[in-house]
Amino acid sequence: MITTSIDQQGLREALKELKQLDENAIKDLRANLRTGLGPAATAIAGSVPVEAPLSGMNNKGRLGWSAVRSSVSFTPGKSKKSGNSFLATIKITGKSKKGGFEMAELAGSRTKGVTASGRAMIRGLNARYPMIKRGGRFTYAKFRELRPQIEKLAIKIIKETTDKVNKRLVR
């Protein structure tokens, strides 16, 4: 599973106050973020090859290849690792319970391979789909390309939602 987040400062506190003022505003924000960021999530998922990158992944076993799906979730909170607040998460996961995509996406990102077969797999993946910088072999490069647009869109959606709430409060 690949997860990327947009960081926002003070989000949790703002959402608490927004919920006290207008509970439907949170529902609207959630729906607008899902629909607004959905095309970007689909574009990121589209960067994953449909066919298995290596012939050994063409199987029906646990580590076989499957198509991927994208989802956008709105789960305001804080990261346990960094402590940063996050707003929207774009997830790209395999459609089935097969782990081939997750394995191939990050293979070789932390180690050069522990076993001989692992090293051979990483060499094969690097020959066909080299990992550029860090983060992942298929999806992360596309995310880096779209990140400025995703952040601008998320900020625009938040601003539109707060403007609507402000208009309701003024009445």
pLDDT at 137: 86
Any residues with CB less than 8 A from the CB of 125 and at least 6 apart, and which?
Answer: 53, 54, 104, 107, 108, 131, 137
User: CA nearest 109: which of 81, 140, 137?
Assistant: 137
Rounded to two decimals, what is the model's pTM? 0.75
Helices 23-45 and 11-21: crossing angle, nearest 10°?
130
pLDDT at 13: 64
Q: How far apart are alpha carbons 160 and 155 in whole angstroms?
A: 9
pLDDT at 17: 65
User: CA nearest 85: which of 20, 153, 16?
Assistant: 16
Regions in the chain scoring below 70 on pLDDT? 1-23, 75-87, 169, 171
Q: How far apart are alpha carbons 92 and 1 in whole angstroms?
A: 6
Q: Which amino acid is residue 6, in one-letter code?
A: I
